Amino acid sequence: MGVLYHFFYRIAFLATALIHLWWNDLFKATAIVATACLSSPGQPLIRSIVKLHSLVLMCFVLGFCFKSVSAAPVQEVLQHDPTVLSFDDIKTLDGFGDIPAPYHNLTFEGFYAFDPSDPALEGKISPQDVNCAASKPNALYGTRDNFELKLVEPERKPSLQPSNSNDTFTIHRLKLKPLNMPLGAAKVNLQGVRRCSDGSDGEEVLDWSVDFPAGYHYALDVPVKEFSGKVWDKLETLYMWADFHYNGLELDWEFCVDDMEVEID
């Protein structure tokens, strides 16, 4: 498909250039100038050749300029710059707030915006978790318990997806950590789902996780491509959740996320 695309693009470029030349009578003008260069009486032949060479160079420069300003195969104006989601513009009440739908062209499920420094949360979360908000005041709070009132599937996980079902997105970077002080270990998981690259109807699943040992933690800065070894692009859905592990016991765990660098593809 790529070869055919470039072939037809070059055909279209050549046709457009010829139309411009014909419309402005540049063919006729070029022929007249070339004839004048080669047929001037009393002028040495070498001088006529130099003039003709200069004319050819001028045509080359004009053609190069035309190509530079014409449409390129990949239009930069259609590209989207990555957006860093800090959630600081979301209003919270007593520390928590609903995420608008859509929010920067994304829909969040199983998440709340929360201000860990809100006085209403004093005694409810650890003072060590104020650092959830890498950019103050807000961060993203997630847990599978957020689905308690609308539980459909026992394994439903917090997620985000484009608000337009025809779009996909890329996750470049984010900061995350488990809340409180897990006695054993808390694992924070990322799972991206996208269509198979071979064009089939199946799905390709990308997985990455990180274990936090017992104790309090700073938010971990995660450059997704560097840590996972893959580019997480063309995603239809990104799932995030945390699990608590201790002596064979596995439970859902609260976690926070901030400064998510995402890009609508």
Q: For residue 239, what pLDDT is reported?
A: 97
Q: What is residue 58's three-state secondary structure?
A: helix
Containing structural domain, residue 37: 2-76
Q: For residue 167, what pLDDT is reported?
A: 96
Distances (CA, A) of 123 to 112, 116, 120, 126, 198: 19, 11, 8, 7, 52
pLDDT digits (tens, 9 = 90+) for 206-233: 999 999 998 999 999 999 999 999 999 9
Q: Looking at the predicted structure, is the pLDDT value of residue 241 above 60?
A: yes
pLDDT digits (tens, 9 = 90+) for 58-73: 655 555 554 554 444 4
Q: How far apart are CA 235 and CA 161, in angstroms?
A: 8
Cβ contact 264:105 at 8 Å: yes
Q: Looking at the predicted structure, is the pLDDT value of residue 263 above 80?
A: yes
Decide: pTM greater than 0.75. no
Q: Are residues 33 and 136 in the same domain?
A: no
Number of domains in the chain: 2
Q: Are residues 154 and 225 in the same domain?
A: yes
Q: Are residues 116 and 158 in the same domain?
A: yes
CATH number, domain containing residue 110 = 2.60.120
Domain boundary among 23, 51, 76: 76
Q: Are residues 153 and 260 in the same domain?
A: yes
